[in-house]
């Protein structure tokens, strides 16, 4: 296959645009409602060091492999994998890897849009003053009222998906490129502003102590597995988004150096978010640090509602969360749209509407999981729990594992040489060692841990 400088969808205008796009894909709700608490409760600074090591030696190598596949194929993940498998004279079953990522992306988008809708709703809730002075019980009641209102959830789900379609419909340059070059600087600006606010108005020292106290006694083997899992999932590996974005990456850009920058930004957002969130939480008496929706939609509204000017800051915070979710979600929609444009000769409007409707319909199952279907379970799962478990604990680890093995053992060496041109031989050796041994072992351990936790 001749080296393709640009695919049919175009290319990012610069390496910096790709960095913003990949960072936007990686930065999401997990950075804000999971990583800070997991770090603080598993050894603080000791956990952060292990996490950063896992990012460097496991997450980054697999992300580089996924970007490499995308850039060489210059097509949607499904068609890129088909072409690279053919070029490498590999078993055709490897081409299913592209489909695995795309299907995972659609499933994740379906429930991600519903959860992101909560954040959009809370911009209004905080800004209108409804949550002023609420205690924990009142905040929990307000959140449960949202979850028990299917019409409201569907409305915000629809608004969020419409925002995603509006971006992806514009294509690589006028849609995705403009969006990430606008949204990511806004995200960083808001995050920095909230950091300054939390330093002066929150309990910043308690947050630093919670996140960075070096507690080796709390760092168990289980904590190391948590760090590996967090490092893998935080970079959006295995859901086709990074492969699709890699297809638009400038040919002259260094994949290794670029992905290191993306990993730095992603980790920085997670750490700074933790400092912001827990500075505010610890500044309010009676609130315990936690993770997940309880932290985001119950604990934080209580904290914001009790602070002078906190409602405005709370609204700004949920704008930050919405931007992070938006930048991630558009990366989930793009690989699906690109495939339809390539294979069915559709325009972007038609392709967007098809997958947006599919995600919207599937998302109704998530909406109803919190209200009218909450009493129905299959194998102990609600519909939402099932999709979450299927994607996070099975599809993404399997996809990441297969990417590592495919690039580590199967891909034609000429492809690697052409895409990794300029990489120092020792660095390339370390990268290939990680793909062949470190990453498969780590991802396999996380995969087994996830299954054990659910079914033990």
User: Quick check: is 446 in a domain?
Assistant: yes
Residues near 354 by beta carbon (within 8 Å), at least 6 away in sequence: 340, 346
pLDDT per position as a tens digit, 397-449: 999 999 999 999 999 999 999 999 888 889 999 999 999 999 999 999 888 88
Q: Convert the pLDDT of each residue in 354-385 to its tens digit.
A: 999 999 999 999 999 999 998 888 778 899 99
Query: For residue 73, is it within any domain?
Result: yes
Give the per-residue pLDDT at 195. Answer: 94
% of the chain exceeding 90 in pLDDT: 58
2 assigned to some structural domain: no
Q: Where are the alpha helices (DSSP H) in 88-220?
A: 96-127, 136-147, 150-168, 171, 178-201, 204-212
Query: Coil, strand or helix: which one is 292?
Result: coil
Residue 66 confidence (pLDDT) above 70: yes
Query: In the prediction, which pLDDT does 128 show?
Result: 87
**Alpha carbons 391 and 197: distance in angstroms, whole number:** 36
Q: Closest Cα partner for 301 from 311, 309, 289?
A: 311
- The yes-or-no verdict on residue 99 having pLDDT over 80 is yes
- pLDDT cut 70: percent of the chain above it: 97
For 263-288, the pLDDT digits (tens) are: 999 999 999 998 998 898 888 876 77
Q: pTM above the 0.85 mark?
A: yes
CA–CA dist 354, 159 (Å, integer): 16
Mean pLDDT of the region 161-177: 91
For the CA atoms of 440, 445, 450, 452, the dihedral, rounded to the nearest 10 degrees, stands at: 140
Q: Give me the domain span that covers residue 267.
A: 15-455
User: Distance from first CA to last CA of the chain, Å, rounded?
Assistant: 48
Could you tell me the CATH number of the domain that includes residue 22?
Answer: 1.20.1740
- Number of folded domains that form the chain: 1
Q: Residue 8 domain-assigned?
A: no
Let me know if residue 3 belongs to a domain: no
Which residues are CB-neighbours of 38 under 8 A, at least 6 positions away? 47, 226, 230, 291
**Domain presence at residue 312:** yes
Contacts of 110 (CB under 8 A, 6+ apart): 358, 359, 360, 362, 363, 365, 366, 387
Q: Tens of pLDDT along 210-228?
A: 888 888 887 888 788 888 8
> What per-residue confidence (pLDDT) applies to 152?
96
Domain-embedded: residue 331: yes
Q: What is the pLDDT of residue 8?
A: 66
How many Cβ atoms are within 10 Å of 345's Cβ, its own excluded?
A: 8
At residue 126, does pLDDT exceed 50? yes
Q: Is residue 6 part of a domain?
A: no
Give the Cα separation of 420 and 430 in Å (integer): 13
Residue 2, pLDDT score: 38
CA distance 302 to 310: 10
Place of tokens 């490499």: 68
Most confident of 86-90, 214-218, 232-236: 86-90
**Span 319-357, pLDDT tens digits:** 999 999 999 999 999 999 999 999 988 889 999 999 999
How far CA 94 is from CA of 74, 97, 98, 390, 434, in Å, comes to 18, 6, 8, 20, 20
Angle separating helix axes 310-344 and 150-168, nearest 10 degrees: 60
pLDDT (average), residues 22-45: 83
pLDDT at 378: 79
């Amino acid at each position: 296959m001749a080296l393709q400088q640009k695919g049919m969808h175009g290319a990012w205008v610069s390496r910096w645009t790709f960095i913003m796009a990949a960072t936007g894909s990686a930065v999401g709700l997990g950075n804000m409602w999971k990583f800070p608490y997991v770090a603080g409760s598993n050894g603080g600074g000791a956990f952060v060091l292990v996490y950063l090591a896992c990012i460097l030696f496991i997450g980054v190598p697999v992300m580089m492999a996924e970007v490499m596949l995308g850039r060489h194929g210059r097509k949607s993940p499904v068609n890129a994998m088909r072409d690279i498998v053919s070029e490498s004279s590999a078993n055709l079953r490897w081409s299913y890897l592209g489909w695995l990522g795309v299907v995972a992306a659609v499933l994740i988008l379906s429930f991600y849009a519903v959860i992101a809708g909560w954040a959009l709703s809370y911009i209004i809730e905080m800004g209108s003053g409804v949550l002023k002075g609420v205690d924990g019980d009142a905040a929990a009641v307000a959140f449960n009222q949202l979850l028990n209102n299917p019409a409201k959830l569907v409305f915000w789900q629809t608004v969020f998906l419409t925002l995603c379609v509006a971006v992806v419909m514009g294509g690589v340059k006028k849609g995705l490129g403009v969006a990430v070059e606008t949204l990511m600087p806004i995200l960083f600006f808001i995050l920095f502003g909230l950091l300054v606010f939390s330093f002066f108005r929150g309990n910043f020292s308690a947050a630093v102590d919670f996140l960075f106290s070096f507690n080796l006694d709390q760092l168990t083997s289980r904590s190391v597995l948590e760090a590996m899992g967090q490092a893998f999932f935080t970079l959006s590996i295995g859901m086709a988004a990074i492969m699709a974005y890699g297809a638009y990456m400038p040919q002259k850009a260094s994949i290794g150096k670029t992905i290191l920058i993306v990993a730095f930004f992603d980790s920085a957002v997670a750490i700074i978010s933790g400092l912001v969130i827990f500075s505010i939480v610890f500044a309010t008496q009676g609130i315990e640090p936690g993770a997940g929706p309880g932290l985001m939609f119950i604990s934080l509204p209580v904290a914001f509602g009790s602070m002078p000017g906190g409602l405005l800051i709370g609204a700004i915070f949920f704008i930050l969360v919405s931007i992070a979710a938006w930048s991630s979600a558009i990366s989930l929609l793009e690989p699906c749209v690109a495939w339809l444009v390539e294979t069915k000769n559709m325009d972007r409007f038609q392709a967007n509407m098809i997958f947006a409707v599919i995600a919207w319909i599937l998302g109704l199952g998530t909406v109803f999981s919190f209200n009218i279907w909450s009493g129905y379970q299959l194998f102990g799962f609600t519909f939402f729990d099932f999709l979450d478990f299927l994607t996070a604990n099975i599809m993404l680890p399997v996809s990441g594992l297969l990417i590592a093995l495919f690039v580590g053992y199967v891909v034609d060496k000429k492809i690697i040489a052409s895409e990794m041109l300029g990489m120092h031989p020792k660095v390339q050796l370390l990268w290939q060692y990680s793909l062949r041994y470190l990453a498969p072992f780590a991802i396999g351990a996380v995969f087994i841990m996830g299954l054990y936790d659910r079914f033990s």
